Structures are given as structure tokens and as C-alpha cells.
Amino acid sequence: MGMLCAVSFHRYGRLYYLDPGELRPQVGDKVLVPTDEGPEVAECVWAAQWVSEDTDGFPRLAGLAQEGDLRRDEALRRRKAEAKVAAKRLIREHGLPMKVVAVDHVPASAQGSGERSTIYFTAPHRVDFRSLVRDLGATLHCRVELRQLSARDSARVQGGIGSCGRDLCCATFLTDFEPVTIRMAKDQDLPLNPLRISGACGRLMCCLKYEHPLYSESSTYPGSGERVETPEGTAKVVSRHPPSETVTVRQLSGGGISRCSLSEVCGSRRAYDSGPS
């Protein structure tokens, strides 16, 4: 048991959980988060509170942001904005099919490493951007790297709201992308309409995988169209709901629709008669 708080580097961005140590940051406080490039300023979006999990493996806050840290962070944000504007302009001038997704900038350090900007972009295919990199370096006066992102990685970086009304999974808690197939949608009796089962990235929604193990192991469930006996009489299965261990049925006499538990129908399953009911 220990204390955790959650911070974000951008508004509605990905949440990072840290051990506050002796600090007790409140929502809206600016804090310092340790990174590979040194402490960076982030905003506390979840005040420090006790949790039941072991917090030994979580990084610890480096402190509360001071005036100098805030000025440095503001300068860094301006530098990123300048790099993004310059990148978009030069991409248009070069006529490249690229879309800038995000920009990361690392200032010069006391150890002697110079400034560098990393520009993340998406493109429909591989792009020869060697001349673009040269022009960007001359414009920004620093070392420039360009990295092409996949559709899923682009959605993770940009963030957004999914069709469920919540923040995108990839931008909040998903750390690895696992394969998602159309078979998962079929097993869950979902409509195979791309607009219904695709995420903000245009690919199949990652959440199709969350409940799929329940559906793939539900061989004991009656299939769609199968006749079963229910407390109200003989019915035909319309759909199944493995997470709640229930099925939706339509009564053959009267046509009423109801939901029954699996235990009520499994012991009385009958072969489906394909003839008229």
C-alpha cells in the first residue's frame, strides 16, 4: 500500500502515475517529473491519495515546479510550436505527402549535447525526406530527426475521445498494441460495419480484444437461431452475452423478446428446426 498521483504533460494527454514521496500535490499543481532528458514540468490531474497496490516500482516526483522551471517549460513549448509551423511550411514547399503529428524538442544540456528536434509524421507510404531534413536543420538551427508513425501510434500521440465517450485507450493505459482481427468482431456478433468497429486511427478498435476470450470459450452457449426452452416457453436465440452469462431470446408464441440466464436455457436446448416457426 502506498500513495500515487497522476500527471499529464498535455491537456487531455496520457496519464502518468508517480509516487509523490513527501509531496502532496493537488489538482492543477505544476510538478517536476523525472525523464531521460532531465526533470520536465507536468500538471497534476489526480491528487496524491492512498492506493491498495504496491507503489515501489513507480517513479517518484522530482519536486514542485518553481518559477524558473515554468519559464523554461514555456520557452520549450514555444520552440516546439515554432518547429511545427516550420515543418508544415517546408513540407508544403517540398510537396511531400506528410502530415505532422507532434514535435519533441530537447534543449542543449550542460553535458555538451546540442539542441535537437524530433518531428513525428504520418504518410501513406515511405517518403524520401532527406532534403526536408536539411532545410529544417537550417531553419531551426539544431539537429532534426523525422520519424514516421503508424496509424495507431499517431492516435496514441494525438489522443482524443473514442466512440464510447472516454479517452482513447492507446493514449491512456495501453502500452503495447496487440493484433486485432475481424474474427473477434464476428465472434462477438458485432456488426461488420467499418464505421462501427473502427477506432479514431481507422483501424479495428483495440477494445475488441478485451472480451474476446469470453466469447471464444463460450462453446456451451446456444447459437443464434437455436431453439431453447425458457420459463415462458419455447423460444429462439437472438443473441448471446457471455460477460453476463445470458442470452436474448424471442418467444415463438407471441414474439416477445427477453433475456434469460445461461443456466435456464442450456439444460433444455433442442435442435434448431430451419423450417417456419
Domain-wise residue ranges, the chain: 2-65, 70-149, 155-213, 220-277
CATH 3.40.50.970, domain 220-277, yes or no: no
- pLDDT above 70 (res 12): no
Identify the CATH number of the domain defined by range 70-149: 3.30.300
Locate 63 and state its grid cell. Answer: 519536486
Helices (H), 127-245: 130-140, 151-158, 182-187, 194-197, 212-216
Largest CA distance in the chain: 82
Residue 255: per-residue pLDDT = 77
Q: pLDDT for 29-50, tens place per residue? A: 999 999 887 889 999 998 988 8
Q: E-strand spans in the chain?
A: 2-8, 16-18, 30-33, 40-51, 63-64, 99-106, 116-122, 143-148, 227-230, 233-241, 246-251, 257-261
Q: pLDDT for 148-178, tens place per residue? A: 998 888 888 888 888 888 888 888 778 788 8
Q: In this predicted structure, which of 6-20, 182-196, 259-273 has the lowest mean pLDDT?
A: 259-273
pTM for the full predicted model: 0.69
